[in-house]
Amino acid sequence: MKTVSCPTAIVRSSLDLLEGIRRSGILPEKQCEKIRERVQKGTYPLEAPSLAARLVKKGVLTAYQARYLLHGKTEGLALGRYIILDRLGRGSMGKVYKARHRLMGRTVALKFIAREYLVRPNAVPRFLREMRLVGRLDHPNIVRALDAEEIGRDPCIVLEYVPGQDLERLLLARGPLPPLDVARYAMQAARGLAHAHELGVIHRDIKPSNLLLGEDGRIRILDLGLATLIDNEDADKDSVATCDGMAVGTADYISPEQAVGREELDGRSDLYSLGCVMYHLLSGKVPFPEDSRVECLASRIKGRPASLGELRPGLPPDLIAIVDRLMANHREDRYATATEVADLLAALVGGDSSAPATEVERHTAAADPDPAAVSPGALSLEPPSFGEPGTSYPSSIIVVAAPGWWLRFLTFLSERSPWLVMVTGAIALLTTFAAGFFLSRTIL
C-alpha cells in the first residue's frame, strides 16, 4: 500500500488511540476492552504508533484505519452497515473505498459521488441513473453492483470487491505488454462491452485504469460513471443530464465522435477507445502524444497515430490490423459490434480467456505489504478525513468540456490550404494585439 509522508502522529498515547477506536465504532466494545487490558499489563506498547503497528500486524486494524485514527479522526470509518478498510481510488464521479459488511463480513467496494457534484444541477439524478445502469449488468467481465443506497447524505453504490491491479498500473510497472496478453485482455473487455451494449449501455470512458486484472486472471470493466443509457424505453431519459453535446471521456482514449460532441454515440465509440488502450499497452505510448489536450483531441478527428509496426517491430500483423480497424476515424469503418472483436481476438489467442496462474501472480504483485512486515515507521501518515483519506490510483485527465466551435474550426482549417491557415493566424494575432493595446490605454 502506498503511503504519504507525514512527520508525526497527533495521537501519542495508546489509551488515547484506544478511545479513538472505541468512538469510531469499528471494533466491538469487548475487543477494545481486551486490548486495553493488554496495554495495562505491558503486553502491548504504551506508545500509540507502536500499538497501531502491532494491531495492523495482527489484522485487528488496517494500515489505512491506523493512519486515520493516529491523526485523531474517529468519524467516517463506520458508515451505516459498513466498516471502511481502505481507499481504492478515484472514479469519474467520486471515490471508491474497500469496506466490510458489519454482519455478513463480506468485503465490498463502496463508490461515493464526489460532494462537489451534489451542488450541480441534476447531479444526484445522474448518479441514481448510474445505479440503475450498473444494476442491469451481469457479466463475468464487468464489476457487479450488489446494492445502492444513501449513507448519510452521500449516494453510494455497493460493488463487488475484486483484488487485482488495473492495466494502467501494470503498464507503468512492466512497460509494453506481451502481444498475447494484450489480445487476451482486450478479448475479455470486448465481451463485457458486448453485454453492456446489448442492454443499451455505452461506457464512454474505456481506458487502462478502468480495466482491472483480477487475481483470477480475469479482466473486469470498472467505473460506469460516464455510461449513457441509449434505451429509448427509459421513461426518465429526459430528466437526466446525459452530457449530450459535450466531449466526455479521457482525452488519450476518446473517440473522434466524442471529441466533436456528437449526440448519437453508440458502442463503436467504446471500440475506438478499446483500440487506443491496446495501442498504448502494446507500444507504451498513447496514440496521440500531443503537447496539449486540445491538440490531442484535434489530432484524432482527422489524423492517424504512428504505425504500431514501426513502434514495435515483430508484432503479429493480425493484431495490428485489429487495432487499426478499431481506431478507424469513421465509425462506419470500425467493427460493427464488440462481439465481433471478441471473436477475432479469441481466434488470435486460441480461445484461451485467462492468464496462467503464475503469470497472474506476477502481474498482481501484492499492492499491500505483508502485515507481518508492518512496523511503526511503515505507517507513514497523512491528515485524513472522510472524502479525502488515503491514496489514489494514477489517473488520466478527464475531459468534460463543450468542444464548441474551436474543435470544429481546427478541423475546418486542417482541410484548407496552408496560406489560409497563415492568414487566419495573422488576423487572430493582430486582433489580440490590438485588443491588448486598447485595453492597456483604457486602464492607464
Catalytically active residues, by annotation: 205
d(CA 401, CA 403): 6
Using left for φ > 0, alpha for ψ between -120 and 50, and beta otherwise, residue 284 falls in left
Specify the length of the chain in residues: 444
Contacts of 149 (CB under 8 A, 6+ apart): 80, 155, 156, 158
Are 353 and 184 in contact, with CB atoms under 8 Å apart? yes
Helices (H) and strands (E) in the chain, counts: 16, 13
CB atoms within 10 A of CB 341: 25
CB 381 within 8 A of CB 391: no
Q: What span, in angstroms and rounded, lies between the C-alpha atoms of 283 and 175?
A: 8
Q: At 442, is the secondary structure helix, strand, or coil? A: helix
Half-sphere exposure at residue 276, Cβ-oriented, CA atoms within 13 angstroms: 30
Q: Are strands 211-214 and 219-221 parallel, antiparallel or unpaired?
A: antiparallel
CA dist 277 and 273 (Å) reads 6
Determine how many CB atoms are found less than 10 A away from the CB of residue 12.
13
Q: CB–CB of 262/268 below 8 Å?
A: no
* CB-based contact 213:281 (threshold 8 Å): no
Please name the amino acid found at residue 424.
T
Check residue 406 and give left, alpha or beta (phi > 0: left; psi -120 to 50: alpha). alpha
Amino acid letter for position 309: G
Q: Return the residue matching grid coordinates 490531442.
A: 296
Measure the CA–CA gap between 272 and 433, rounded to whole angstroms: 41
CA-nearest of 222, 220, 213 to 359 is: 213
Task: Say if residues 284 and 335 touch (Cβ distance below 8 Å).
Answer: no
